[in-house]
DNA sequence: TTGCCCGTGGTCCCTGACAT
DNA sequence: ATGTCAGGGACCACGGGCAA
């Protein structure tokens, strides 16, 4: 695809409903605090440094909009999944601007499609566009990198009916690079979108990244975990929420138990639930995948030609 | 059925007071 | 210092309704 064509909105890729294809998210953003876990507006910046001091992440919010939340990140997961799907279909030059309808996007990320859903979507896009991230991850030596999640978004309005027709989202370079490199992506469990708690979501992402398939699972002290999630609560409150989540035991794929670390401090142990369930789920995803591949490919073809 | 809107009740992260 | 508890504020899920 030529540069001219890439810049021409007429040739934006239209992304059809993607809620039945495998969900992909970026490895790097899964194990570090990049998003607010609160549903209320967060302005206090995130300032994270890994225990070895090698990796740091700073996230800053604009007062008018607040920091992008872990629910807003669903839009990025949707984008990653859609681009990954295009790549698998053999599209070489993946678009940085995605075109869809607000309704399809809301459905895909399992949100309400009422009036408030649209308002919330706009607010989410504003937060994604205004939140700035400053990180050592993927920064070239000696060069700092600052970016937002998305560069811009707009809504195409039908000139006659004045009804919104399409939603266009342009990903930032950092996100685009991460999403288009396959090794950067991990498959998320479909139930992730149904998790209502911000902390639960953060825990699942971390477990998915760190515990993975490890037979022994993965152990992490509360103090480290709190930093990794980016939770803004006091340690004792964080501990209380952790106990509550462990008791409910509703994280997709992983079970979490509270244990004592070697030094006696509280820690969480994550381990995959039984292997049989895992096989059943991945089989189901593959079946869905094949079922929808044809219809999506057809729709894609119709809209591109 | 699809696309949209609204009111209500419930959930959740966090705060702050109090207890251990 | 750490745990318990009640409640605030935001907002999400749900069900009902409407129009095409």
Residue A256: phi and psi, rounded to 5, are -120, 130
Rounded average pLDDT over A25-39:
80
Q: Residue A116: which nucleotide is closest by CA–C1'?
A: B5
Q: Residue A41: which nucleotide is closest by CA–C1'?
A: C10
What confidence category does residue A199 fall into, taking pLDDT thresholds of 50, 70 and 90?
confident
Check residues A6 and A250 and name the one with the higher pLDDT. Answer: A250
Q: What is the mean pLDDT of chain A?
A: 73
pLDDT score recorded for residue A50: 82
What are A235-244's contacts with CB under 8 Å, separation 24+? A239/A266, A241/A199, A242/A199, A242/A266, A242/A268
Distance from CA(A27) to C1'(B3), angstroms, rounded:
35
Task: For chain A, count helices (H), then strands (E).
Answer: 10, 13
Rounded average pLDDT over A7-35:
60
Contacts of A57 (CB under 8 A, 6+ apart): A32, A33, A34, A46, A47, A48, A133, A134, A135, A136, A137
The answer to whether A116 CB sits below 7 Å from nucleic acid chain C is yes
**pLDDT surpassing 50 at residue A250:** yes
How does pLDDT run across A50-107, given as a tens digit for each residue? 877 778 888 888 877 888 888 888 888 888 888 888 888 777 788 888 888 777 777 7
Rounded average pLDDT over A267-283:
62
**pLDDT surpassing 60 at residue A172:** yes
The answer to whether A4 CB sits below 7 Å from nucleic acid chain C is no
Rounded average pLDDT over A136-159:
77
pLDDT score recorded for residue A181: 74
**pLDDT surpassing 80 at residue A27:** no
**pLDDT surpassing 50 at residue A184:** yes
Distance from CA(A124) to C1'(C10), angstroms, rounded:
14
Residues with CB under 7 A from strand B: A 37-40, 101-103, 112-116, 118, 163-164, 196-200, 231-234, 237-238, 241
Check residues A90 and A164 and name the one with the higher pLDDT. Answer: A90
What are A234-240's contacts with CB under 8 Å, separation 24+? A239/A266
Distance from CA(A165) to C1'(B4), angstroms, rounded:
14
Nearest to A125 by CA among A144, A98, A146, A143: A98
What confidence category does residue A141 fall into, taking pLDDT thresholds of 50, 70 and 90?
low
pLDDT score recorded for residue A159: 59
How many other β-carbons are positioned within 10 Å of the β-carbon of residue A174?
Answer: 20
The answer to whether A236 CB sits below 7 Å from nucleic acid chain C is yes
pLDDT score recorded for residue A157: 67
The answer to whether A235 CB sits below 7 Å from nucleic acid chain C is yes
Q: Residue A222: which nucleotide is closest by CA–C1'?
A: C2
Would you call A28 helix, strand, or coil by DSSP? helix
Q: What are the CA-CA distances from residue A228 to residues A99, A119, A176, A225 (Å)?
A: 33, 30, 23, 5
Check residues A61 and A262 and name the one with the higher pLDDT. Answer: A61
What confidence category does residue A186 fall into, taking pLDDT thresholds of 50, 70 and 90?
confident
The protein residue nearest nucleotide C2, judged by CA to C1', is A236
Contact indicator for A157, A163 with CB cutoff of 8 Å: yes
End-to-end Cα spacing for chain A: 14
Distance from CA(A37) to C1'(C6), angstroms, rounded:
22
| Residue A238 DSSP code | H
Q: What are the CA-CA distances from residue A305 to residues A71, A74, A111, A167, A168 (Å)?
A: 34, 29, 31, 20, 19
What confidence category does residue A161 fall into, taking pLDDT thresholds of 50, 70 and 90?
low
Both structure tokens of A174: 């950092």
pLDDT score recorded for residue A164: 64
């Amino acid at each position: 695809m030529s540069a001219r064509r890439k810049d021409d909105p007429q040739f934006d890729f239209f992304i059809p409903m993607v809620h039945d294809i495998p969900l992909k998210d970026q490895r790097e953003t899964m194990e570090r605090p990049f998003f607010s876990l609160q549903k209320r507006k967060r302005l206090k910046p995130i300032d994270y440094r890994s225990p070895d001091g090698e990796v740091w992440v700073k996230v800053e919010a604009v007062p008018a909009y607040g920091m992008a939340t872990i629910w807003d990140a669903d839009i990025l997961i949707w984008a990653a999944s859609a681009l990954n799907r295009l790549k698998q279909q053999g599209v070489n030059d993946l678009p940085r601007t995605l075109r869809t309808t607000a309704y399809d996007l809301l459905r895909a990320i399992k949100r309400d499609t009422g009036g408030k859903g649209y308002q919330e979507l706009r607010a989410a896009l504003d937060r994604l566009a205004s939140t700035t991230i400053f990180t050592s991850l993927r920064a070239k030596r000696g060069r700092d990198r600052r970016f937002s999640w998305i560069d811009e978004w707009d809504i195409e309005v039908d000139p006659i009916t004045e009804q919104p027709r399409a939603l266009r989202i342009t990903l930032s370079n950092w996100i685009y690079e991460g999403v288009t490199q396959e090794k950067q992506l991990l498959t998320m469990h479909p139930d992730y979108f149904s998790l209502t708690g911000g902390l639960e979501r953060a825990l699942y992402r971390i477990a998915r990244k760190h515990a993975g398939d490890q037979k022994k699972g993965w152990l992490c002290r509360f103090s480290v975990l709190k930093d990794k999630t980016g939770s803004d609560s006091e340690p004792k409150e964080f501990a209380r929420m952790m106990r509550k989540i462990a008791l409910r035991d509703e994280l997709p794929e992983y079970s979490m138990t509270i244990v004592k670390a070697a030094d006696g401090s509280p820690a969480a142990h994550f381990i995959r639930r039984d292997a049989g369930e895992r096989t059943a789920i991945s089989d189901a995803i593959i079946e869905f995948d094949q079922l929808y591949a044809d219809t999506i490919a057809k729709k894609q073809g119709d809209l591109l030609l």
